[in-house]
Structure 1
């Protein structure tokens, strides 16, 4: 990403070295796009490394599950990140903005490689969840295939079922989705050893129960995904809108990084409230996050409407490069509300999933699964813009809400559309919770 900036490779690519669109050729664009998956892979690796390291800590699994230890979310680390981000925002050349983090990243790599760390070598032999070296998706497909292969068998008291040998991590059999229980049937005439050689025809009760849990939670996932759509707006449209407004507080010139710093600060300060929701009821925490997402969309629509009025009043519709005489900190309430959504949603989603998998999964799966659901919402946010643009052409003035510039666009209409979806999502989630009776982990006892 550092090499993609115009000054560095201008001599070799035959382009100019100024920060201007005409000076960005094909090679810098390719390098910039290559940098994104590199950052993604690095961030994913760091998350997994920290979670695995914390598994070595002498702390009860349930406490680790509730507290959700993560050094990247430690308040001291967060404050240091805020200071660095604000300092980098005052550096004008993008080559320097990218080069400084790159320099310290190289130092971090060498420190990580040369600082001695004692590896126990036990965790990998157990698998990620301590039971099997397979992903939940593979396990679910295997249970489904095994149950279909024994479609003509009946589960009754006279049929032997393949139980889990490890009683400390096994799950007892429960009612519901009885068709999947056929995957545990030991066919007469064949021993358990013969069946275990073909895992796609015989599964343990624990495997089946984990698959049942995933199926029962599936209807709730779309509701959480929509909150991920709302969270994705922070680093896209919110920042773009903030960059068009007046960043000064009196004579002190700030930047949109201050809004992001406020966002992150509040997200960290919400940890105590989030922790209380995790202890009391993760469902209530997720519901509260959804309620705040509704308020966030309403606030964003109101502020955007005010911004558009300021644009019209000062004749800036066709002047996207000029600052709008409206304070950037009108957007502060929506950043605060969105920080509450982000803080409550991820932690309580992880706790909600973790409680359903009581003593069956370790910290890693619920944590990664919760992030995956929210990440899916961020991806869905891209398609929501496309669908909203198509929808806007068939309603009202029949004009696409998304134009070439923000000054010409109608982002307020998009935010109102998200408000309607969030309200419907909130009501649907409450209805699903009424039928989806969560027993806070007491359904499964070892």
Structure 2
């Protein structure tokens, strides 16, 4: 997928910048039509799973939350009696989120009045609820991720992008270095880093999924620090050449200065995004795998909204009254470097909180897989 992305960024961006935007949009439109046709032709060959009488995971987990709310007045003695009646052993019911154990009681204490959740249903609901701290913590990473296709590209437009006297590199094509980094790094990770880590930790995967996610978060902090330093250099170059008030004039600074931040973020994605996808897919009931992937993808959707909201707040706080905001249309008067430093700080805080989650055993899921 990353290899296809590289070709798309290089070819389509060149067409859009140098030939025609209509053609640039038309080509992917036609390709998607063909993809849809091929998809529909293949539906007869797909395997279908036949489900039994078991309720869907949505209903099971949803009913646990509903039942626990309905029984919120249940006393500890009632809970203890219910657990004793069921013969529940102390280790069978996790201590975390014990309020969900109230779903084990029937409404009004009468089992004929309503459905009673099983212990496995309650533990499934707890497992899903444990994903919330991880999901929340990763939102800052998603905010940083949104900058790779926005402000990074905007920086590139102002810089020297000439490849030859008659050919300029489209600024948006720089995103291809993220995909290239992923393509090149994943084999290195699988064939070099994992065996080394496996020898050190005695774990089959080398490092846990959560440790992989945390490694990517650390690299995102480094990437934003590098981005801030490069932007400071760009602003200094514009000032030295008297181009501060000439936003449409190319700054005599090569666009290749931006490559390190793209590469670092590509490696960060190979750690964090792959780790998150595996983690959210693995930690939900088997019939809710698609929901787990939806939770993973929602991190980046919500993160994009939060990025827009953060930019809106900063724009209001730093602009107005004749002042240039951090995001002024004239980037030579703006201060993207301040914004990048802010994101680096937020990412560092995110990393600290994530490390706390890693060290706090109440958040470690699947002890056999994730015990540190």
Which category of TM-score, normalised to the shorter sequence, fits these structures?
0.7 to 0.9
The aligned counterpart of 2:355 is 430
- Equivalent position SS for 2:252: strand
Segments of 5+ residues of structure 2 without an aligned counterpart are 198-204
The aligned counterpart of 1:295 is 222
The aligned counterpart of 2:127 is 213
TM-score scaled by structure 1? 0.68
Larger RCO (CA within 8 A; separation ≥ 6):
2
The aligned counterpart of 1:339 is 266
Distance 1:269 1:438 in 2: 33
- Equivalenced residues, count: 348
Q: 2:310 aligns with which of 368, 384, 387?
A: 384
Q: 1:195 aligns with which of 114, 123, 129?
A: 114
- Equivalent position SS for 2:78: coil
Question: Is it true that 1:236 corresponds to 2:162 in the alignment?
Answer: no
Cα shift at 1:220: 3.2
The aligned counterpart of 2:32 is 105
**Cα distance, 1:218–1:105 mapped onto 2, change above 3 Å:** closer
Q: 2:325 aligns with which of 397, 400, 412?
A: 400
Distance 2:340 2:64 in 1: 38
**Cα distance, 1:355–1:122 mapped onto 2, change above 3 Å:** closer
User: What does 1:41-56 correspond to in 2, within 5 Å?
Assistant: none
Distance 1:141 1:152 in 2: 18
**Cα distance, 1:216–1:103 mapped onto 2, change above 3 Å:** closer
Distance 2:189 2:59 in 1: 29
Distance 1:399 1:140 in 2: 53
**Cα distance, 1:274–1:354 mapped onto 2, change above 3 Å:** farther
Distance 1:235 1:317 in 2: 24
Distance 1:268 1:356 in 2: 26
Distance 1:369 1:437 in 2: 21
Cα shift at 1:412: 0.6
Distance 2:276 2:96 in 1: 23
Question: Is it true that 1:410 corresponds to 2:331 in the alignment?
Answer: no
Cα shift at 1:266: 1.0
User: What does 1:44-443 correspond to in 2, within 5 Å?
Assistant: 73=1, 78-91=2-15, 92-115=19-42, 117-122=44-49, 125=51, 132=56, 134=58, 138=62, 141-148=65-72, 150=74, 154-158=78-82, 160=85, 172-186=92-106, 189-191=110-112, 195-196=114-115, 202-249=116-163, 251=165, 253-272=168-187, 276=194, 280-357=207-284, 360=286, 363-392=289-318, 400-437=325-362, 441-442=366-367
TM-score scaled by structure 2? 0.80
**Cα distance, 1:364–1:409 mapped onto 2, change above 3 Å:** same
**Cα distance, 1:364–1:172 mapped onto 2, change above 3 Å:** farther
Cα shift at 1:208: 1.7
- Equivalent position SS for 1:316: coil
**Cα distance, 1:195–1:161 mapped onto 2, change above 3 Å:** farther
Distance 1:226 1:85 in 2: 26
- Equivalent position SS for 1:104: helix
Contact 2:64 2:117 in 1 (8 A): no
**Cα distance, 1:400–1:136 mapped onto 2, change above 3 Å:** farther
Cα shift at 1:367: 2.5
Distance 1:435 1:253 in 2: 51
Distance 1:243 1:207 in 2: 54
Cα shift at 1:126: 6.3
Distance 2:74 2:119 in 1: 15
Cα shift at 1:387: 2.8
Which of the pair is proportionally richer in helix?
2
Segments of 5+ residues of structure 1 without an aligned counterpart are 1-72, 164-170, 197-201
**Cα distance, 1:217–1:436 mapped onto 2, change above 3 Å:** farther
- Equivalent position SS for 1:239: helix
Cα shift at 1:285: 1.0
Cα shift at 1:262: 1.4
Contact 2:156 2:255 in 1 (8 A): yes
- Equivalent position SS for 1:409: coil
Contact 2:82 2:105 in 1 (8 A): no
Distance 2:132 2:124 in 1: 13
